[in-house]
């Protein structure tokens, strides 16, 4: 290996750069000395609220190009534009997870990006996927898994990163508890467990895929530091940090089944309600399935087999938010 630090610097294209993990990944790549070019949609961010000028300020230090990933012509003309790129990192994901959106972005747009990257001579594609594709019961999981298969079969060097729960997805009840309301759980709060991972720790892991040959041509489940934790433990920790006795309110999973059944029936006549039924199915999935490595032999989730990285725990994050740090914008993925 060369002693010249610049020898390891790469020109990296990033998609999904305006999302929470995308922004952190751009920062991690820049800190490692890479040249970063972000392909962003004409209206990006939560609720498509960011203009190109907003994005340029948000991603300071990176070059920003306005590109429509659903349009192969735009990818070639406005994105790659005959320029050299060593690697591509895709943190792109559908905004809602509804079937139409999922197949359009998590599959078709990703395929467009893959083909354009191959034609541009990109050597390595790092994909931010999700650990829940191990048990693909939902449309967005099936779309992600179909693209994973296409990437593996493409012949391009790949790193498929499947993180466990994000801090932002577990932050929705912080304000609720602070206002004195109970922490909501399904069942007794121990139906599921996860090893949550922070934005910066995940971003550093994603950026490291460009340099660590042990992460090449592999599917990489990854969680944060520490033991797996249940929703009950999350709620108890929040109350302890506030110096209050824990108050947990239980909801039966059957309640979600009733909502799903009702919306599903009405959705046959109203497409918008069909999408709401899918969102309810997503909520039920996360209420009953752990975000850990799934043992294919036993069909059980295995915390010990779920790799860890980083230094920040979910409880560190909770303490920071309670102390005044900004809570992340949760957008279309908010449940509580």
Alpha helices in 72-138 (DSSP H): 72-74, 99-102, 110-119
Q: Which long-range contacts (CB under 8 A, 24 or more apart) does 25-31 make?
A: 25/89, 25/91, 25/128, 25/202, 25/203, 25/206, 25/207, 26/59, 26/61, 26/62, 27/200, 27/203, 28/200, 28/203, 28/204, 28/206, 28/207, 29/89, 29/207, 29/210, 30/61, 30/62, 31/207
From the number of C-beta atoms within 10 Å of its C-beta (0-12, 13-18, 19+), residue 3 rates as: exposed
What is residue 325's predicted lDDT score, i.e. its pLDDT?
A: 84
Tell me: pLDDT of 275 over 60: yes
Tell me: pLDDT of 105 over 90: yes
Lowest-pLDDT choice from 160-164, 185-189, 266-270: 266-270
Backbone angles phi, psi at 241, to 5 degrees: -65, -30
- Does residue 29 contact residue 35 with C-beta atoms inside 8 Å? no
Backbone angles phi, psi at 155, to 5 degrees: 90, -10
pLDDT, tens digit, for every residue of 144-160? Answer: 999 999 999 999 999 99
Looking only at the bridges linking them, the beta strands covering 183-186 and 293-294 are: unpaired
What is residue 145's predicted lDDT score, i.e. its pLDDT?
A: 98
pLDDT, tens digit, for every residue of 110-146? Answer: 999 999 999 999 999 999 999 999 999 999 999 999 9
What is residue 335's predicted lDDT score, i.e. its pLDDT?
A: 43
Tell me: pLDDT of 5 over 70: no
pLDDT, tens digit, for every residue of 73-98? Answer: 999 999 999 999 999 999 999 988 88
| DSSP structure class, residue 250 | E
Please choose, from the candidates 31, 144, 138, the residue with its C-alpha nearest in 3D space to the C-alpha of residue 90: 144
Tallying the residues shown for the chain, one arrives at: 336
What is residue 334's predicted lDDT score, i.e. its pLDDT?
A: 45
Separation between Cα atoms, residue 183 and residue 210, nearest integer Å? 40
What is residue 7's predicted lDDT score, i.e. its pLDDT?
A: 47
- Strand intervals (E) in the chain: 11-15, 35-40, 63-66, 87-90, 124-128, 157-163, 183-186, 218-222, 248-251, 293-294, 301-302
């Amino acid at each position: 290996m060369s002693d010249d630090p610049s020898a390891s610097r790469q020109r990296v294209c990033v998609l999904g750069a305006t999302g929470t993990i995308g922004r952190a990944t751009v920062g991690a790549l820049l800190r490692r000395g890479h040249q970063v070019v972000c392909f962003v949609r004409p209206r990006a961010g939560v609720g498509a609220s960011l203009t190109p000028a907003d994005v340029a300020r948000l991603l300071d230090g990176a070059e920003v190009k306005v590109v429509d990933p659903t349009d192969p012509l735009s990818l070639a003309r406005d994105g790659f534009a005959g320029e050299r790129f060593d690697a591509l990192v895709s943190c792109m994901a559908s905004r809602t997870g509804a079937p139409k959106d999922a197949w359009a972005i998590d599959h078709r747009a990703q395929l467009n990006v893959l083909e354009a990257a191959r034609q541009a001579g990109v050597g390595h594609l790092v994909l931010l996927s999700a650990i829940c594709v191990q048990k693909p019961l939902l449309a967005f999981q099936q779309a992600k898994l179909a693209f994973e298969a296409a990437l593996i079969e493409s012949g391009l060097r790949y790193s498929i990163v499947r993180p466990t729960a994000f801090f932002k997805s577990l932050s929705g009840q912080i304000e609720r508890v602070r206002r004195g309301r109970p922490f909501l759980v399904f069942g007794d709060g121990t139906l599921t467990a996860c090893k949550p991972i922070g934005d910066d720790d995940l971003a550093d892991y994603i950026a490291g895929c460009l340099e660590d040959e042990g992460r090449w041509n592999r599917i990489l489940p990854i969680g944060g530091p520490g033991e797996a934790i249940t929703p009950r433990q999350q709620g108890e920790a929040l109350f302890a940090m506030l110096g209050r006795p824990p108050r947990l309110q239980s909801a039966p999973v059957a309640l979600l089944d009733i909502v799903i059944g009702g919306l599903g029936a009405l959705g046959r006549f109203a497409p918008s309600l069909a999408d709401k039924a899918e969102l309810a199915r997503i909520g039920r999935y996360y209420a009953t399935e752990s975000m850990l490595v799934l043992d294919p032999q036993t069909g059980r989730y295995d915390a010990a087999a779920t790799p860890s990285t980083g230094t920040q725990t979910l409880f560190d994050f909770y303490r920071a938010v309670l102390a005044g740090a900004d809570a992340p914008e949760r957008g279309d993925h908010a449940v509580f």
